[in-house]
């Protein structure tokens, strides 16, 4: 009896967590993110914003590391 009750409560908690996570807002589009950061911050012209493959290629050419922020 205890085991079935524990399973049922765990299953219910997992179901509720999945439902709650699916109801979260999708987030901003890349253009909206760029607009927000441009409004609040001056971006250094040497930075590569929102183009990871280009940043990786440049880092390999210049033999430098990448500092990436994923939002």
Report the number of distinct structural domains present in the chain. Answer: 1
**Domain region containing 54:** 2-62
Domain presence at residue 70: no
Q: What is the pLDDT of residue 25?
A: 62
Let me know if residue 19 belongs to a domain: yes
Of 4 and 64, the structure prediction assigns the larger pLDDT to 64
Question: What pLDDT, on the 0 to 100 scale, is given for residue 23?
Answer: 64
pLDDT at position 64 is 93
Global pTM value: 0.41
Which pLDDT score is estimated for 56? 93
Concatenated DSSP letters for 26-62?
Answer: ----HHHHHHHHHHH-PPPTT---S-HHHHHHHHHHH
The answer to whether residue 69 sits within a structural domain is no
> pLDDT tens-digit profile of 11-69?
777 777 776 666 656 677 777 777 776 655 666 778 887 788 999 999 999 999 998 88
């Amino acid at each position: 009896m205890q085991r079935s009750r524990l399973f049922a409560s765990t299953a219910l908690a997992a179901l509720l967590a999945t439902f709650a996570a699916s109801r979260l807002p999708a987030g901003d589009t890349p253009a909206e993110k760029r607009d927000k950061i441009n409004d609040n911050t001056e971006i250094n012209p040497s930075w590569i914003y929102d183009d990871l493959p280009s940043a990786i290629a440049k880092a390999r050419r210049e033999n430098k590391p990448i500092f990436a922020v994923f939002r």
